[in-house]
Structure 1
Amino acid sequence: MIVVIGSINLDLIASVDRLPAPGETVPGSAFVTAGGGKGANQALAAARAGAEVCMIGAVGNDSFAGDAMRLLREAGVDLSRIRESDRPTGTALILVDERGENIITVVPGANATVSADDLSPADLPLKQGDLVLLQHEIPLPTVEASLRAARHAGAISVLNTAPFRAEAASFLTRADYVVANETEFDLYSDALELAGGNRAARMRDYVRRFQSNVIVTLGGEGLLCATPHQFFECPALEIEPVDTVGAGDTFCGYLAQSLSAGESLETALTRASTAAALACLSRGAQPSIPHARDVLFAYNRQVRA
């Protein structure tokens, strides 16, 4: 079982030729809505990868809630522990340019109400061998409490450090796996006073000091992974991106499913990286998350290449 504790949003997505400068208005060419939120995106990715997934979070009592959870429900994610809040469903306002680059504003809404009270044994039925997947779009005390609960239950914890929040450095090292992009890791390196003249050296210092695993994603350049026993690189699948929104969440969901299924870390990372690349080939976070059969086809082609 994969338990995702995180945010649930409705994304409002506009396509533009180029992203506006401060104070500038640019015309849009298209507009769509889609389910989003880093927690929900990762839950959907894990489910499409083939995992049994339970989602813990909150939505509002409004018209956005149903749309925000529609694809999760269709994918068979267990939504029985989603709580209704008196705050509105979380919303993300997204502009995507013709190169696939984006700018995003997130209004947390109900996501800000997810608390340690939602982690009671009745709401968080963890057992040894389960996997807990977390991000930073819910209150950080809840993230920290979730890491403690996972450790207590003997579950594996995977923490995606997006979006960057400096105060998370105090509990980052409690996660079994940390997934950060290059900017996030560099900022946490400063906060944790990691030693080394380059990123790889700082990653090695991290795992030496904290005896956990750290994965740093590099976009089109692939990723770096450091564990207490090995260090390796994983190249990215070469693509022409249409929209990069949701690629990181796709990576995390597929990584969680592969780890939960007992695959080797290198295999899990290659498969997750392949899935993330495929997610960049269409617009929207959740609609673009690939299904397992498409990832398997692309993964096999990549491995044979």
Structure 2
Amino acid sequence: MDHDVVVVGSVNADLVLEVPRHLHPGETLLGRDASVLPGGKGANQAVAAARLGADVAMVGAVGTDPNADVALAELRRAGVDLAAVRRVEGPTGLAVVTLADDGENSIIVIPGANSTTDVAAVEAAASTIAGAAVCVLQAEIPLDAVGRAAHLAHEAGRRVVLNVAPACRLPLDVLRLADPLVVNEHEAAILLGADPGTAVPAEQTVRELAELGVGSVVLTLGAAGVVGLDATGTWSLPARPVTPRDTTGAGDAFVGALAVGLAQGDPARDAALLATRVAAASVQRLGAQLSYPWKDDPLP
């Protein structure tokens, strides 16, 4: 195989605004600092995997503005293969991240060049997608492109890690290619057509997701850990006890590390154990990609 992991997804610049707390509607608030950092769920996951030593390729797009170089900086430093990342006329994807003192964030994403990572772009990268052991997908690019990439990987006998984030509804034929389907509680509720505000036991949620026909499920619960379901049954893992500085990109750190474990042939539970440790390490530093640990860094 050409690569351990291929990530098909978004490449953004993140405008991070540090504030004491989140705004109320109609309110003006003085912030403390602003930074422009590399981001995008796809690029985050690719960097997380590459920093752990995996051979990673990225399929995506950036624009022709100065943010393109920011968006690509950590992908390059981590050694990600960028041959399938196109430069297209117009702006690079932008995420505006408001980071409060408690470490929680709110994010608005402007797709920019990511909207051009469509079915045609996926078809052009078909050999890269089919040539990796694990294909990682999210939902910050057009959803028909997500579906086509999943089918290309599956038809080549590769494993599909499908992170349905941001929350959206994907066709069942695409969901059923996931092994695993990776979601948080809010994303799971959207997929199941439930009220995201309704408390449902995690074990019940993973069973209902599995009943959709997916190969396996990994449900992330933040500080409450992870619950999964695969051929061995239902399992759970606690979160690592750390003091968060910035939770931006922690879910992407988890997915990237999970893909590395799966590419190595680890069972889903073992891969998720690595992923919880990598995610815990990431929340202790500012930013998404800049916070991700390297292969030899100590983990919580």
- Please state which band the TM-score falls in when normalised by the shorter chain: over 0.9
Q: Relative to 1, partners in 2 of residues 1:40 and 1:129: Cα closer, same or farther, differing over 3 Å?
A: closer
Question: Is residue 100–residue 241 contact of structure 1 (8 Å, CA) maintained in 2?
Answer: yes
Equivalent residue number for residue 159 of structure 1: 162
Aligned-pair RMSD on alpha carbons? 1.7
Change (3 A) 1:122 1:27: closer
- Which of 213, 219, 230 is equivalent to 2:216? 213
Indicate yes or no: 2:270 matched with 1:282. Answer: no
Stretches of 4+ moved more than 6 A in 1? Answer: none
Counterparts of 2:225 and 2:217, CA distance in 1: 14
Secondary structure in structure 2 of the residue aligned to 1:28 = coil
Q: 2:171 and 2:63 mapped to 1: Cα distance?
A: 26
Amino acid at match of 1:98: D
Deviations 1:1-26 (A, max 9, x none): 21100000000111111111111111
2:232 aligned with 1:232: no
What does residue range 230-269 of structure 1 map to in structure 2 within 5 Å? 230-269=233-272
Letter in 1 for 2:47: L
**274-283 or 260-269, larger mean C-alpha shift:** 260-269
Q: Deviations over 1:144-163 (max 9, x none)?
A: 00111011111100011110
Shift of residue 128, structure 1, vs aligned partner:
6.8
Alignment of 1:51-70 (within 5 A): 51-70=54-73
Q: Which amino acid aligns with 2:299?
A: A
Q: How many residues align?
A: 292
Deviation (angstroms), 1:167: 4.4
Q: Match of 2:299?
A: 298
| Residue 141 (structure 2) aligns with | 138
Where in structure 2 are there 5+ consecutive unaligned residues? 195-199
For 2:205 and 2:224, the matched residues in 1 are separated by 18
- Give the secondary-structure state (helix, strand or coil) at the position aligned to 1:293: coil
Partner residue in 1 for 2:180:
177
CA contact (8 A) 2:119 2:144 kept: yes
Higher helix proportion (structure 1 or 2)? 1
Q: Which residue of 2 aligns with 1:115?
A: 118
Q: Distance in 2 between matches of 1:129 and 1:57?
A: 16
Task: Specify the SS of the correspondent of 1:12.
Answer: strand
Looking at structure 2, the residues matched to 112 and 293 of structure 1 have their Cα atoms a distance apart, in angstroms, of 36
Distance 1:237 1:122, change over 3 A: closer
Note the C-alpha offset of 1:244.
0.3
Do 1:140 and 1:168's aligned partners in 2 also have CA atoms closer than 8 Å?
Answer: no
How has the CA–CA distance of structure 1 residues 113 and 261 changed in structure 2, closer, same or farther, with 3 Å as cutoff? same
8 Å CA contact 1:129–1:154 kept in 2: the answer is: no
SS at match of 1:13: strand
Q: Which moved more, 1:116-125 or 1:44-53?
A: 116-125
Query: What secondary structure does 1:256 align onto?
Result: helix
Shift of 1:292: 2.0
| Matched AA of 1:62 | D
Judging changes above 3 Å, is the alpha-carbon distance between structure 1 residues 209 and 170 closer, same or farther for their aligned structure 2 residues? closer
CA contact (8 A) 1:169 1:188 kept: no
Whether the 8 Å CA contact 1:6–1:56 is kept in 2: the answer is yes
Give how far 1:174 is off.
Answer: 2.2
Question: Whole-Å Cα distance in 2 between the matches of residues 41 and 264 of structure 1?
Answer: 23
Deviations 1:45-80 (A, max 9, x none): 000011100100011111110111011001110011
CA distance in 2, matches of 1:47, 1:286: 11
Letter of the 1:210 partner, please give it: G
- What secondary structure sits across from 2:176 in the alignment? helix
Counterpart Cα distance in 2 of 1:240 and 1:169? 38
- 1:209 positional shift: 5.1
Pair 1:33–1:128, CA change in 2 (3 A):
closer
Match of 2:46 in 1: 43
Amino acid at match of 1:298: L
The residue number in structure 2 matching 1:302 is none
Note the C-alpha offset of 1:169: 5.5
In the superposition, the TM-score normalised over structure 2's length comes to: 0.92
SS state at 1:162 partner: coil
For the pair 1:102 / 2:127, whether they are aligned, the reply is: no
Structure 2 CA distance for aligned equivalents of residues 48 and 283 of structure 1: 17
**Aligned partners of 2:226, 2:74: CA distance in 1, in Å?**
29
TM-score, normalisation: structure 1? 0.91
Deviation at 1:211, TM superposition (A): 5.0
Q: 1:240-294: per-residue Cα shift (whole Å, max 9, x none)?
A: 1111000000000000011101122222111100100111001111111111222
Residue 127 to residue 106, structure 1, CA distance change in 2 (3 Å): closer
Distance 2:132 2:77 in 1: 26
